[in-house]
Structure 1
């Protein structure tokens, strides 16, 4: 199935564009279940919801279907569609009266996080969330090392401005370790980012 951005540019999933067949088969090594970052976060959010801790969901991305095939009378196959609008961030919701908004990104690079994985419209969205008093951050995963960090949006914006002014186009792993917060992988919940939020904003 083909997806296109609002400007008509063809959408190519990052994993598909960069992964080899071997990499596609190599899922997370910390779990035999082969979970991805998105699946882990969705499971974490379900854990929060069922225990009345927080209400946080992945944002749906609206699409416009432009081509559908009907190989069988009882089945329809979408062949081409367009994203109606550029996406903002991946997740949002509410926790103890505070608005939560965050993006989730993973990289196979072991020494730095490429800023090309973040888009300008997402940066602008994060600025707006911060301006209105929301809690905004990005969860970064170094998949080859099974390490996950929470990086507050205010720090991400600083690194973005550095790049915009001609500086490096990535955030070093050391910088993330210095400004971000490590989230150890657990069982229930899988990625307990609320614990970090509690410590940062004194909400516990």
Structure 2
């Protein structure tokens, strides 16, 4: 079956089967995460750990697919021959943690000094805005790849900076702002990305501000 991205380019699946991934992972874990894993894989690994420990129930949202070609070799069978990935309409992850609804994005950049807004889309900003209005805990997990540094940035800060673009503000968030307004997350053994500790700080801050 052939998959295509929204721009028409074919999707090439370069993923290693899960059984092989587990077999080739290094036994030693470093403070820089698991070698060869993307931020998404690290988060999926961490969420699986959180679920196994009954700490939180968080999943990555599946990417919508539009089927364009189906073959029917038999009446009772249908084989998808061609499909396209639709552009996701919301964010990457959502779930429940201690009675709180979590909704967040995971983004990486190779920039050392700022996080470009081109990594985000307007529909994601509007989704964050709507979730915040309903009392959700919304944020972005940002990774500065060259620095191997991770941060949780509240969605409210992202929205403020995003909206300021209309008044001529810069089209990125400086690292010093991310450090000041966000919460740094340090890699560890299990979970790989212990982001719930940063979520606890964000919740405590929001409760304090509302009182």
**Normalised-by-shorter TM-score class:** 0.7 to 0.9
Query: How far off is 1:87 after superposition?
Result: 2.7
Moved more, 161-170 or 138-147: 161-170
2:143 to 141, 144, 165: 141
Cα RMSD of the aligned pairs, angstroms, is 2.6
SS of residue in 2 equivalent to 1:175: helix
Counterparts in 2 of 1:82 and 1:189: CA distance versus 1, 3 Å? closer
Residue of structure 2 in register with 1:92 after alignment: 94
The one-character-per-residue Cα deviations of 1:150-189 (angstroms, maximum 9, x if unpaired) are: 0000000111011122211111111111111100011101
Tell which structure's C-alpha radius of gyration is larger.
2
Counterparts in 2 of 1:108 and 1:51: CA distance versus 1, 3 Å? same
Q: Structure 1 residue runs of 4+, over 6 Å off?
A: none
TM-score by length of 1: 0.79
Conserved 8 A contact 1:66-1:82: no
Q: Aligned pairs, how many?
A: 180
Query: How far off is 1:125 after superposition?
Result: 0.1
SS of residue in 2 equivalent to 1:100: strand
1:188 to 179, 187, 190: 190
The one-character-per-residue Cα deviations of 1:120-164 (angstroms, maximum 9, x if unpaired) are: 000000000000000000000001111000000000011101112
Counterparts in 2 of 1:53 and 1:11: CA distance versus 1, 3 Å? farther
1:173 aligns with 2:175: yes
Unpaired runs of at least 5, structure 1 = 14-27, 70-75
TM-score by length of 2: 0.77
Unpaired runs of at least 5, structure 2 = 12-29, 72-78
Query: How far off is 1:38 after superposition?
Result: 0.4
